[in-house]
Structure 1
Amino acid sequence: MSTIVASSENVRSADSEQLIKELSAELAALYEVSDGGAGFHPEDVEQPRSAFVVARLNGYPVGCGALRPLDDNAAEIKRMYTRSDYRRQGVGQAIIAELERLALEFGYASLKLQTGPLQPEAVKLYERVGYYPIPRFEGDWELVHAYRKDLVPAEINRP
């Protein structure tokens, strides 16, 4: 049986850099732009209360995601990516679950993210795991889809 494991890794590792490169190339082609980086820089996740997560299937890197601070109470999910051959297998959900776990550990109350209109699968994933639409919070591209999820520490739900 295959096991997906998502965990924090160095954003500058060979696997992390390769996943980021693949995502940037895919977005550049999809949106017909020269830079698919979406304003992400490795330094974004080399600061306190940030992380870069790599998902592995039986040890092989199949996806990634980043968590970077927006302010004291909110962080942004960036660089969500699953290699095309591994989509619809729970990779994205595993990455989001780990990013949410880390966000709670870091003391964030909410997470935000933005995605483009040519990524309907991403929109479906985010909505399926509890993210709701909000107004754009960064950039000036009017077509962006912005989302938020409010995080509730597990201790609050205990009797």
Structure 2
Amino acid sequence: MSNNIVIAAAEDVRSADAEELIRELSEELAILYETTDGGAGFQPSDVEVPRSAFIIARIDGYPVGCGALRPLDEQSVEVKRMYTRKEFRRKGVAQAILAEADRLAASFGYTNIKLQTGPRQPEAAALYERVGYYRIPRFSGDWDLVLAYQKDLVPAGEEVR
């Protein structure tokens, strides 16, 4: 990898790169949480609806991470399937994905972004807090240990006051 510049952009969730990244993440989460399914209820069709997206981060064209935006309601969108390949962690990949998620969510007219992560992913939780997310009560699922977060968005074209 020459320049290590991370480019994150919306892509087809059914592309080979997307499917491979999703599979790797699901396998990693299944091991981490000692379950048979690390899919966390995500389906590719979740991001094939209006105001949704699947984001792939690339370095020199190579897919190094992903994330998805899945609508919750008119005001809220959820970040799903956040993943960075092991050898590319701590290189700004997740931040690039989240920045693109923020940009897309604002352009889609959402006022906030929500996400949930688990207690065995303290690095993820720390990252979300670092980029402006704050803890909220769990908003989906029935797992008590889930860590839920929200980030409020400035609508596209408006300035932060």
User: After the TM superposition, which residues 33-72 of structure 1 pair with which residues of structure 2 at under 5 Å, given as runs?
Assistant: 33-72=35-74
User: After the TM superposition, which residues 117-156 of structure 1 pair with which residues of structure 2 at under 5 Å, given as runs?
Assistant: 117-153=119-155, 155-156=157-158
SS at match of 1:157: coil
User: Number of paired residues?
Assistant: 159
Change beyond 3 A, Cα 1:158–1:150: closer
SS at match of 1:65: strand
1:18, distance to aligned residue in structure 2 (A) = 0.1
User: After the TM superposition, which residues 13-52 of structure 1 pair with which residues of structure 2 at under 5 Å, given as runs?
Assistant: 13-52=15-54
Residue matched to 1:9: 11
Q: TM-score, normalised by structure 2?
A: 0.96
1:157, distance to aligned residue in structure 2 (A) = 1.4
Question: For structure 1, which runs of at least 5 residues remain unmatched after alignment?
Answer: none
User: After the TM superposition, which residues 106-125 of structure 1 pair with which residues of structure 2 at under 5 Å, given as runs?
Assistant: 106-125=108-127
1:154, distance to aligned residue in structure 2 (A) = 5.2
Contact 2:106 2:156 (8 Å CA) reproduced: no
SS at match of 1:96: helix
Question: For structure 2, which runs of at least 5 residues remain unmatched after alignment?
Answer: none
Change beyond 3 A, Cα 1:106–1:80: same
% identity of equivalent residues: 67
1:158, distance to aligned residue in structure 2 (A) = 7.2
- What letter matches 1:62 in structure 2? V
Separation (CA, whole Å) in 2 of partners of 1:158 and 1:93? 20
1:107, distance to aligned residue in structure 2 (A) = 0.3
